[in-house]
Structure 1
Amino acid sequence: MGIEIVSKPEALLYEGVDWDYDKIKRVYDAVEHIALKEMGLTVYPNQIEVITAEQMLDAYSSIGMPLMYKHWSFGKHFARDEMLYRKGYRGLAYEIVINSSPCISYIMEENTMTMQTLVIAHAAFGHNHFFKNNQLFQQWTDAEGILDYLEFAKAYISQCEERYGYAAVERVLDAAHALMNQGVHKYPKKRSLDLRLEQKRERERQEYQEQTFNDLWRTVPKPTAGQRPPKSVSERKKLLGLPEENLLYFLEKKAPRLEHWQREILRIVRHISQYFYPQKQTKLMNEGCATFVHYTIMNRLHEKGMINEGAMLEFLHSHTSVVFQPEFDDQRFSGINPYALGFAMMQDIKRIAEEPTEEDRQWFPELAGSGDGMAALREAWANFRDESFVLQYLSPHLIRKMKLFSVRDDAEDPYLLVEHIHNERGYRSLRKMMARQYDLGFLEPDIQIVDVDLAGDRKLILHHRVTNGILLDESDAKAVLRHIANLWGYEVQLVEVSAVSEAVLKEHAVTAPSGIV
C-alpha cells in the first residue's frame, strides 16, 4: 500500500484588500518567478510607481508619457476626463505602462491588493515582454533613450517659450500635433537614432543651419541668357525626395521660412509620434499578450496556494469585465473588443499547439501539435503585428466560437446583406476582412506631398489617394491645411484623387499665411 505525500501549500502572499509595499514586493517576486521561469518571458528592468487617481488623469492627458512638455490640449483632456470620472461616467485604467528601459508601470493607490497583483502581471511582465521582443518595437523605438529624450524635449520647449514667447511656441506645437498621424516613417529606412544623443545632435544641426540655410533658400532670380534652364518636374521631385508621406519630416527639412527652433520642435513631435507608431499597429496583440499573461499568472498563483479563493473571485470578476464581448444586437455593442479577441486568439494558439483537432491540422500544419504553446505564443508576439497576426492565426474554431459574420452596407441599397458567415466558404473572407480592420493603411488616409516649385510660387501640392471611396471631411481638411500653410509659409493645395482611376475627386486650397512668427 503506497503512501501519498501531500505537499503543504505555499503561504498566502496577502489576505484582505489593503496593500502595502512589503506585500507588493512579495507579489512582485512571485509573479516574476512564474513569468520568467515558467512562461519563459524576457523583460526590461521594472520600475513600479504608485500614483493617485488625479495623477493617473494627468498621465492620461499627456499621452501617458512622463516628463512631457506643456501644451493646452493636455489640460483640455485632463479637464474633460476629470469631469467624466468625478460624475461617474467613466472609470480609470488600473495601470499605465511606459515602453522604456526601465519599463515604468503606474499603479493606482486606490486599487485593492488583488488588483495590484493583476496589474503587475499584466503591465510589468505582459506588456513589458511584448515591448522588448516585438520586431516593430525593436525597429522603431529606443527604450533606453526615450526618457532622456523626453527630458531634453521638455527643457528645450520650455527654453523656446522663455525666448520666443508662449504664443509663438504654441502655434508651432498646434500645427505639429495636427500632423502627428502623418508624421511617421511607415517603412524602416535605417536603424533608429540613439535618442540620448539628440541634445548633441540639436547643437550640431544649429551650427550647420547657420552655415547653409541662407544660401540654400535664397530667392532664386529670374533666369538670364547663358544660365542653366530650370529643372524638369521629375528632376525637381527627385531632388526634394518627392513624393513624401511623412509630412512633418518634409516640413522640418524643407519649409523655407521656418527658424531653427521651429524645425527642432517639429522634430520633437515627429520623434514622439514615431515612438507610438508600433503601438498603433499592435493594440490587439499587445493587450492580448498582457491579458493572457496576467490570466496565466493569476491562475498559477491560485494553484500554488499563494492567493485565496476570495482574491481569485475578485480577479475573475475584473478579468471577465475586461474581455467581455457584447453580441451584435446588444445595445452595448460598439465593435470587436481588442481585449476579447486578443485574449481568445492567444488561448486558441496554445490549444492548437497542444491539443489540435483535425481541422486545426489542415489550417495550421506547422503549428498544430507542436507541443509547446508558450513557445508558439512567444514566436507570434515577436514576429507579427495586428493585421498579419489575424491573417495568420484566426482559426475557423474561433470564428465559430465568436459567431463572426460580415454585413454589406451599400448606400444605394435600402437593405443590409449578410455576406459571410462562419462556414467553410466564409472563413477566409472573414479572416481577411477582420485583418483589414487593423490595417493602418486602410484606416488612415494616404496623404503625400507630391510637388512644389521652389523657383516659382512655392505652392505646396498634396495628394490624398482615395482607396475606399471616403473623402476627407471638408472642415477638418481645411483646418489641417491651415496648419500646414503656417509651417510652409506659402499656399497649400490638397487634391483628392482616386487610387484606381487617378481621377480628381475634390480639391482643397489654403492661401499663403502671413507667417508662423
Structure 2
Amino acid sequence: MTKLAAKPLYEGSDWNFDTIQRIYDTVETIAREELDLNTYPNQIEVITAEQMLDAYSSTGMPLLYNHWSFGKQFLTNELMYRKGQRGLAYELVINSDPCINYIMEENSATMQTLVLAHAAFGHNHFFKNNYLFQQWTDAEGILDYLEFAKRYISQCEERYGQVQVERLLDAAHALNRQGVHRYPRGQARDLKAELARENVRHAQRERDYDDIYRTLPAAKAKAADAGVSARAAALGLPQENVLYFLEKSAPRLAPWQREILRITRVLAQYFYPQGQTKVMNEGAACYVHYRIMTTLHQRGHITEGSFLEFLTSHTNVVSQPMFDSGHYGGLNPYWVGYNMMQDIAQVCVAPTEEDRLWSPDIAGNGDVEGTLKHIWANYRDESFVSQFLSPRLMRQWRLFKLDDHEKVDHIKVDAIHDERGYRELRRGLARQYDISWQEPDIQIVDVDLAGDRTLMLEHHVTNGVLLAEKDACRVVQHLADLWGYEVVLREIEPEGGSSLKEHKARPRATGPRLAEG
C-alpha cells in the first residue's frame, strides 16, 4: 500500500522558490522511479509575460541574432496578448543539454507542478531519446552555437553594414524551409566541433570553388549528356538542400555571406525533427504529466482542489473542437497524441480480440511504460499513426475520409470507420503527417556553368498541388539574388515529367552583393 504524504507540497495558488524546489524534487522522484524516464539535466527559468513574448519572437531560443522579423513577431504577439485575443503558453522548453524550461511567474502552484511534469520530464525525455532528435540535433552544442551565431552576425553588421546583412538574412529566411537535409548524412551534428572547424571550412570552400569553376582543356569532346552527368556529380546534384548548395557553390558570395547561410540552415536543421513529431511529442508529454499528477494526488502530495484545477487545465488542452466551432483548426495534436498513448496503454494491459488482431506485437504484454518508451524513441508522427491508430479510436472519433478531386464536381466519402475503411482511414490520416506531403519537393537539378550560369530547379508536384504563384515568385527572386545569375524553377508533373509551370528571376541590384570577406 502506498504511503500517504504527511502534508501536501503546497496549499492554495501561491508559491515561492522553495515551493518550486519541493515540487521539482517530488516530480523527479516519480518520473525516475515510476516511469523510468531518461532526461537531460533540467534548468528552470521563471519568466514574465513580456519575456515569454520575447521568446516567442525568437522561435523559442534563449538567444539569437538580430533581425527585423523577430521584432515584428514580438509586436504582433504583444498586441494580440494585450487585447486578449490570444493567451500565452504556461511553459516553453528548449531541446538543449541542460534542458532549459521557461515557466511563467503568473502560474499558480498547481500549474507550475503541471508544467514541470509536462516539459521538464515529458518533453525532455522525448528530446533525448527520439531517433530524429538524436540524428539531426546536437543538444549539448546548440547553446554555444547560438552564441557564436549571434556574435558572428553582429560582427558582420559592424564590418559590412546592417543593410547588407539584413538583405542576406531576408533571402536566407525565405529559403530556410528548403535549407534542410531530409535524409541522414553521416554522423550526428556536433556543433562544438563545427565552431572549431570554421577556418578549415573556409579554406575548403575556396578549393571547392576553384575545382568547380576552373576550365581545363579536354583531350576529346564529350557528349552533352556525359557533360551534364559529370557536372551533376561534381556539384552533388540533384540537391534538395538549397541553402547548402548556395553556401558551397554560389559563385558571387563572399566567405562571410556563406557562413551566414550556414548559420541559417544549421538552425533550420535543428528545428526539422520538431515538425515531424508534434503529435508524438505532445502526446508523450501529456501522458507523462497525467501520470505524474495522478500519482501526486493519490499519495497526498496535492489537494483535491489542486487536482481539480489540474483536471480542468488538462481537459482543455487535450480537447478537440468540433468542425463547426470557431476554435476549430484541424485535429488538435495534443488530443490525437494523448488519446493514442492512453489507447496503447489499454492494449498492453487489457486487450480485446480486435486489439490482438491489429496490434499483435504489443497486445497483452503488460509493459505499458516499456512499450511507450520504445514507441517514443523509434517513431515519428506519420509512422506512429500508421502503426498504432486503432479501430477503437477511429470509431470513437467518427473518422471518415473524403475524396475530393478538382476535376470532379462532387465530393465522395471514400472510407468510414468500419471494417472495410479502417486501413484506408489510418493510411489517410498518417499521410497528413508525412513530411513529403507537408513540404514541396524542390531540388536543384542543373546549372549551366559553361554558359550563362543559369540555375535550374524542379518542383515535383505532389497530389496536383502547385506552388502559390505570389510566394513562389518572391522565393525564386531571393534565390536569384543569392545565386547571382538567373534562376529557373519548373513545376514537374510526377508521372509524365511534363512541365506544368515555370518561374524565372534575375538578381536584383538591391539584393545581397559580393563584399570583401
* Amino acid paired to 1:45: P
Separation in 1, partners of 2:166, 2:512 = 11
2:261 corresponds in structure 1 to 266
2:150 corresponds in structure 1 to 154
The answer to whether the 8 A contact 1:391-1:435 is kept is yes
Picking from 501, 506, 515, the partner of 1:511 is: 506
2:103 corresponds in structure 1 to 107
Displacement, 1:227?
7.6
Unaligned 5+ residue runs, structure 2?
Answer: none
Unaligned 5+ residue runs, structure 1?
Answer: none
Separation in 2, partners of 1:84, 1:458 = 47
Separation in 2, partners of 1:286, 1:220 = 51
Displacement, 1:475?
1.1
SS in 1 for 2:197: helix
Structure 1 pair 11/92, CA: closer, same or farther in 2 (3 Å)? same
Does residue 1:307 correspond to 2:302, yes or no?
A: yes
The answer to whether the 8 A contact 2:461-2:491 is kept is yes
2:28 corresponds in structure 1 to 32
CA RMSD of aligned residues (A): 1.8
Does residue 1:184 correspond to 2:171, yes or no?
A: no
Q: Deviations over 1:412-463 (max 9, x none)?
A: 4444332211110111000000000100111110000000011211000000
The answer to whether the 8 A contact 2:208-2:248 is kept is no
SS in 2 for 1:345: helix
SS in 1 for 2:385: helix
SS in 1 for 2:239: coil
Q: Deviations over 1:384-417 (max 9, x none)?
A: 0000000110000111111111122333444433
Does residue 1:199 correspond to 2:195, yes or no?
A: yes
Q: 1:272-287 residue pairs with structure 2 within 5 A? A: 272-287=267-282
The answer to whether the 8 A contact 1:220-1:455 is kept is no
Picking from 117, 131, 135, the partner of 2:131 is: 135
Displacement, 1:184?
0.5
* Amino acid paired to 2:82: R
The answer to whether the 8 A contact 2:3-2:299 is kept is no
Picking from 26, 44, 58, the partner of 1:48 is: 44
Displacement, 1:6?
9.7
The answer to whether the 8 A contact 2:205-2:248 is kept is no
Structure 1 pair 171/217, CA: closer, same or farther in 2 (3 Å)? farther
Picking from 80, 90, 94, the partner of 1:94 is: 90
Separation in 1, partners of 2:345, 2:473 = 49
Structure 1 pair 428/88, CA: closer, same or farther in 2 (3 Å)? same
SS in 2 for 1:257: coil
Structure 1 pair 8/81, CA: closer, same or farther in 2 (3 Å)? closer
* Amino acid paired to 1:58: D
The answer to whether the 8 A contact 1:467-1:500 is kept is no
Separation in 2, partners of 1:103, 1:482 = 39
The answer to whether the 8 A contact 1:121-1:294 is kept is yes
Structure 1 pair 209/467, CA: closer, same or farther in 2 (3 Å)? closer
Picking from 66, 78, 90, the partner of 1:82 is: 78
Q: 1:58-457 residue pairs with structure 2 within 5 A? A: 58-209=54-205, 212=207, 215-216=210-211, 220=215, 232-457=227-452
The answer to whether the 8 A contact 1:10-1:304 is kept is no
Displacement, 1:7?
5.2
Identical residues among aligned pairs (%): 61
Separation in 2, partners of 1:81, 1:289 = 28
The answer to whether the 8 A contact 1:182-1:247 is kept is yes
* Amino acid paired to 1:151: E
Scaled by the length of structure 1, what TM-score is found? 0.95
Paired residues in the alignment total 510
Separation in 2, partners of 1:513, 1:174 = 14
Separation in 2, partners of 1:214, 1:233 = 18
Separation in 1, partners of 2:205, 2:307 = 61
The answer to whether the 8 A contact 1:490-1:513 is kept is no
* Amino acid paired to 1:198: E
Separation in 2, partners of 1:46, 1:403 = 40
SS in 2 for 1:232: helix
Separation in 2, partners of 1:117, 1:216 = 59
Displacement, 1:226?
6.5
SS in 2 for 1:462: strand
Separation in 2, partners of 1:260, 1:498 = 37
Displacement, 1:372?
1.1
Picking from 441, 453, 459, the partner of 2:454 is: 459
SS in 1 for 2:52: helix
